[in-house]
């Protein structure tokens, strides 16, 4: 593979930039550590003194060392049993920030006529708020079960399935592309962890953002320094 440093901290392979943003019709984003600055599950776990335990599983999963994302998420969610819904709001208010360049990239994509998809192995509580904040068109994520204002330690089965893992992210990208009547060549996928690789492999342009080594190696664009809007250096409006 021939990697080319297009600019400091911005690496490309398997294509010659610049591309035209208007040639794409859909961009799919992972949420945790991609659109936003935190892994939500780790911060929720902090509320019950289990951050180190949960973060260790998260990190091993994102590096691809734990291959089964469903098993990994089920194990981590079980550790959240008893957390209050109020603690989720505190995480959103106090800790969740959009990553640098997120608003600018989403705005540029919308201005060029692209639809925006958020597809996350994280949780609907946060995904719905980020979706509203950025004016995102479609979102799919995991729904935490709650009873009496507290988490039960389980995930709710939704119409499409139970857990949004790498396979479901890929399927969602294909489903939304089909709904829009476009080819996968007209899609971009942006992520940072191993569970983003299946959707990135389908997309016409795959983008790694401050990603794990395994993800950077496979992506067509790797943003290793700076914000998400650096994608606009290689895919221009």
**CATH number of the domain that residue 231 is part of:** 3.40.50.1000
Q: Are strands 4-7 and 10-12 parallel, antiparallel or unpaired?
A: antiparallel
**Total domain count, the chain:** 1
Choose among 226, 236, 167: nearest CA to 205: 236
Q: Is the pLDDT at 166 greater than 70, yes or no? A: yes
Instruction: Determine, yes or no, domain membership for 197.
Output: yes
Domain with 167 in it: 4-38+98-236
Instruction: Determine, yes or no, domain membership for 63.
Output: no
Q: Is the pLDDT at 88 greater than 90, yes or no? A: yes
Please give the share of the chain, as a percent, with pLDDT higher than 70: 100
pLDDT score, position 1: 54
> Of residues 23, 30, 165, 233, which has the active-site annotation?
30
> Of residues 23, 32, 128, 162, which has the active-site annotation?
32
Q: Is 224 left (phi over 0), alpha (psi -120 to 50) or beta?
A: alpha
Q: Is 233 a catalytic residue?
A: no
Q: Is 30 a catalytic residue?
A: yes
The pTM of this model reads 0.96
Instruction: Determine, yes or no, domain membership for 167.
Output: yes
Instruction: Determine, yes or no, domain membership for 12.
Output: yes
Q: What share of the chain is helix, strand, coil (3-state, %, to 5)?
A: 45, 25, 30
pLDDT in tens, 172-205: 999 999 999 999 999 999 999 999 999 999 999 9
């Amino acid at each position: 593979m021939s990697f080319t440093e297009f600019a400091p901290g911005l690496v490309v392979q398997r294509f010659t930039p610049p591309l035209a943003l208007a040639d794409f019709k859909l961009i799919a984003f992972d949420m945790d550590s991609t659109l936003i600055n935190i892994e939500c599950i780790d911060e929720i776990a902090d509320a019950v003194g289990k951050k180190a335990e949960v973060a260790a599983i998260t990190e091993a999963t994102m590096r691809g060392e734990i291959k089964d994302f469903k098993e990994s998420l089920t194990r981590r969610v079980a550790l959240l049993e008893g957390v209050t819904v109020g603690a989720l709001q505190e995480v959103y208010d106090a800790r969740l920030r959009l990553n640098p360049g997120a608003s600018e990239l989403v705005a540029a994509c919308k201005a060029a006529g692209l639809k925006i998809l958020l597809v996350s192995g994280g949780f609907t509580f946060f995904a719905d708020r980020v979706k509203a904040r950025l004016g995102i068109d479609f979102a799919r994520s995991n729904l935490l079960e709650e009873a009496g204002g507290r988490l039960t330690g389980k995930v709710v089965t939704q119409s499409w399935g139970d857990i949004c893992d790498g396979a479901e992210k890929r399927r969602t990208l294909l489903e939304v592309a089909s709904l829009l009547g476009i080819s996968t060549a007209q899609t971009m996928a942006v992520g940072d962890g191993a569970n983003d690789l299946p959707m990135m492999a389908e997309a016409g342009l795959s983008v790694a953002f401050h990603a794990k080594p395994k993800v950077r190696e496979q992506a067509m664009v790797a943003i290793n320094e700076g914000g998400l809007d650096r994608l606009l250096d290689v895919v221009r409006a």
